[in-house]
Amino acid sequence: MQRALVIAIAICMAYVAWAGTFTLGGRTAYFDCGTNTWLCSVPAAQFGEDLTVRFYCDSTLHWSDIAINDMPLSADSLVTFAKVGGDKVYPLSAVDTISGDTLHHTICFTYLPILHLQGEFTDDYQVTHVGVSLPDADAEADMFAKVKHRGGTTNLPDRHKRNYHIKFLDADTNKMDRKFFGLRNDNSWILDAGQIDMLRIRNRVCTELWLDMCHKPYYADQEPKALLGVRGDMVEVFLNDQYNGIYALTEAMDRKQLKLVKSEADSAGVTTFHGMLWKTKFSDVITRMSRWYEYDNNNDTWGGIEVKYPDPDEVMPTDFQTLSDAFKFVATSSHADFVEHVGEYFDIPVVMDYWIMINALLAVDNGTKNIYWAVYDQTVDKKLTLAAWDLDCTVGQNWINEPFHNEAIVGPTRHLSGFNQLLLRLHEHNPDSFCIKAVERYRLLRNDLLSADSIYKRFENRVNWLKQCGAVARETARWTQDSDLSGNELDFDAELAYIRNWLDIRMDYLDKGRFAPYIRGDVNRDGIVDIGDVNHTINRMLRAKDYPMWYEDPVRDFVTDISDVNAVINIMLGKK
């Protein structure tokens, strides 16, 4: 009871703190104290047209002598805005009846949804009122929520444009589901700032590409709506009466998104674990699957992995067994065992698509971390699938911007490395012709989803959409040269040009390199079988102390010896 009272007081205080506003056609306008500008969201169809709406100003603003476009208004009258556009501003003046000052503000419009957060947020949830204005909604409703910062390196003390996790509540502080963009109805949503991204939209665009290209998980027959990534769209955010820029409002990655079977507790409180979900947070011998050590089910982490479902705050001890068995298999199995049994532990078609995606986009932060591992129902099948997360360090974007567009890390001819041992061993051992099938899959995708033109259009179309409503100009004015960007200037046109060139070079590089067709006997991967391959095999035989890559091992016995030399010679001579 006392906790509920404290929360209710917090909500009321947050609501009163920024209650002063006005509406245009019933839509709330939000104030940016940094530029003295009011922003209002209206349907996209209104852009380019005259907009006539009712202006209503409540008494909490303490305004008199109000004028818009130099036309005097009452606190409740019609006003016309000519040819609404993203580059249009309309003057507003009023007298503050408390100070006696004459205020000179401007009004502008967007067709993106607007969210306004009020509070001093930390890594712990705080309850507040969230203002939400949706351009196509018939009416607005007050929304309450628990809000906190989220992220790893994006949440360091010196960062400014932060990410937020929002859990919506009703007026009695109970969980309340909300729906945005026609997506799922849920109380848990993420505000992704694109903090270090010079285009702000890489994570959103690349996640959409992933969702379009990836196979369905192995349990799709039971759960056809399961998704291996999150959906969302762009919004504009205000924080404490200050414009905070473009954000992606997205679903959370959780049991509901993946449609995992719920765990259940019996009458004695003993939990039967069915669906499980884990997240790799940082690189570690466990997340790399390079070594294995015992886990502790009384801890919600193991190595660089944390339990996401069942929520360890609700169910403890947890259960790492299924994940541990799969990771131990990768770390400790022999070459022959790995080739024969890896498909029993992992959802190989999804893993293959992930291998293609992170290479195509040069996802420098996704080879060992930012992966969600999931099992649908471990009482039936212990196979793991994966979901992609945090694809912001992609398409030429590093996790820092100093040096800017670092060629050594994110250049388009960078040979991506830093994979977990599952991806490495699949590439090295070629179980069930994994590498050959991956090349075939890549080449199929190159015809449409992975064409340089197709990927570029995703970026260009999204940027143009943000430009037309003025969001790009507002974002640039707010954040250019900020320390989050290592002092670099935000320039959306220049970044698009960089991406255009990057994609052309990258896809050509992969076509001729990692995803070039495999030719039997071409052990040096130069596209032909000749004496160079014989010499390569002899040199490897004389110096190798580890097992060869599968295409360097024509006999497929995981060693390089004279039998491999003879095999290459026979292939070169056209003998079976």
DSSP 139-170: S---EEEEEEEE-SGGGSTT--S-EEEEEEE-
What is the reported pLDDT for 268?
79
**pLDDT, mean of residues 527-555:** 88
> Which of 446, 463, 489 is at the close of a domain?
446
With beta carbons less than 8 A apart as the criterion, state whether 329 and 345 touch.
Answer: yes
pLDDT digits (tens, 9 = 90+) for 159-168: 999 999 999 9
What is the reported pLDDT for 140?
61
**pLDDT, mean of residues 251-258:** 97
Is 471 within the bounds of a domain? no
Q: Do 121 and 250 belong to one domain?
A: yes
Is 424 within the bounds of a domain? yes
What is the reported pLDDT for 9?
37
Q: Do 552 and 417 belong to one domain?
A: no
With beta carbons less than 8 A apart as the criterion, state whether 188 and 166 touch.
Answer: yes
What is the reported pLDDT for 141?
62
Q: What percent of the chain has pLDDT over 90?
A: 82
What is the reported pLDDT for 142?
67
CATH number for the domain spanning 32: value is 2.60.40
Confidence band (pLDDT; 50, 70, 90) for 75?
A: confident
Is 476 within the bounds of a domain? no
What is the reported pLDDT for 7?
45
Is 58 within the bounds of a domain? yes
**pLDDT, mean of residues 100-115:** 97
Is 291 within the bounds of a domain? yes
Between residues 294 and 547, the one the model is more confident about: 294
Per the structure, the count of domains in the chain is: 4
pLDDT at 19 over 80: no
What is the reported pLDDT for 224?
97
What is the reported pLDDT for 482?
94
**pLDDT, mean of residues 339-364:** 98
Q: Do 94 and 80 belong to one domain?
A: yes
pLDDT at 358 over 60: yes
Strongest mean pLDDT among 184-188, 246-250, 528-532: 246-250
What is the reported pLDDT for 234?
98
With beta carbons less than 8 A apart as the criterion, state whether 392 and 201 touch.
Answer: no
Confidence band (pLDDT; 50, 70, 90) for 312?
A: very high
With beta carbons less than 8 A apart as the criterion, state whether 163 and 192 touch.
Answer: yes
Confidence band (pLDDT; 50, 70, 90) for 463?
A: very high
How many C-beta neighbours within 10 Å does residue 38 have?
21
**pLDDT, mean of residues 176-201:** 95
**DSSP-assigned beta bridge partners for residue 4:** none
The residue segments making up the domain with residue 91 are 2-42+44-110
What is the reported pLDDT for 576?
60
Sorted by sequence, the CB contacts under 8 Å of residue 313 that are 6+ apart come out as: none
pLDDT digits (tens, 9 = 90+) for 359-402: 999 999 999 999 999 999 999 999 999 999 999 999 999 999 99
pLDDT at 12 over 80: no
Q: Do 312 and 335 belong to one domain?
A: yes
What is the reported pLDDT for 21?
85
Is 143 within the bounds of a domain? yes
pLDDT at 84 over 90: yes
> Which of 222, 256, 290 is at the close of a domain?
256
Note the pTM of the prediction, 2 decimals: 0.93
pLDDT at 201 over 50: yes
What φ, ψ does residue 427 adopt, rounded to 5°?
A: -70, -35
d(CA 457, CA 215): 22
**pLDDT, mean of residues 55-78:** 90
Is 488 within the bounds of a domain? no
Confidence band (pLDDT; 50, 70, 90) for 15?
A: very low
DSSP 8-state assignment for residue 332: H
Alpha helices for 480-518 (secondary structure H): 492-512
Q: Do 315 and 418 belong to one domain?
A: yes
Confidence band (pLDDT; 50, 70, 90) for 454?
A: very high
Q: Edge-to-edge strands of the sheet including 27-32? A: 71-73, 63-68, 90-96, 102-110, 37-41, 27-32, 22-24, 51-57, 76-81
**pLDDT, mean of residues 305-322:** 96
Is 507 within the bounds of a domain? no
Q: Do 240 and 277 belong to one domain?
A: no
**pLDDT, mean of residues 525-545:** 88
Between residues 61 and 205, the one the model is more confident about: 205
Q: Do 195 and 311 belong to one domain?
A: no
3-state SS, residue 76: strand
pLDDT at 152 over 90: no
What is the reported pLDDT for 3?
45
**Average pLDDT across the chain, whole number:** 92
Q: Do 104 and 188 belong to one domain?
A: no
Buried b / exposed e across 103-132, counting CB within 10 Å, b at 16+? eebbbbbbbbbbbbbbbebeeeebbbbbbb
Q: Do 249 and 300 belong to one domain?
A: no
**pLDDT, mean of residues 98-125:** 95
In terms of Cβ atoms closer than 10 Å to its own Cβ (0-12, 13-18, 19+), residue 211 is middle
Q: Do 126 and 97 belong to one domain?
A: no
**Lowest-pLDDT range of 12-16, 313-317, 572-576:** 12-16
pLDDT digits (tens, 9 = 90+) for 258-277: 999 999 988 777 889 999 99
Residue type (1 letter), 385: T
Q: Do 297 and 396 belong to one domain?
A: yes
Q: Do 169 and 195 belong to one domain?
A: yes
**Lowest-pLDDT range of 13-22, 116-125, 327-336:** 13-22
pLDDT digits (tens, 9 = 90+) for 26-41: 899 999 999 999 999 9
> Which of 110, 136, 164 is at the close of a domain?
110
pLDDT digits (tens, 9 = 90+) for 390-440: 999 999 999 999 999 999 999 999 999 999 999 999 999 999 999 999 999
How many C-beta neighbours within 10 Å does residue 480 have?
13
What does the H/E/C string look like for 435-484?
Answer: HHHHHHHHHHHHCCCCCHHHHHHHHHHHHHHHHHCCHHHHHHHHHCCCHH
What is the reported pLDDT for 138?
59
Between residues 328 and 171, the one the model is more confident about: 328
In terms of Cβ atoms closer than 10 Å to its own Cβ (0-12, 13-18, 19+), residue 531 is exposed
What is the reported pLDDT for 1?
37
What is the reported pLDDT for 14?
42
d(CA 25, CA 50): 13
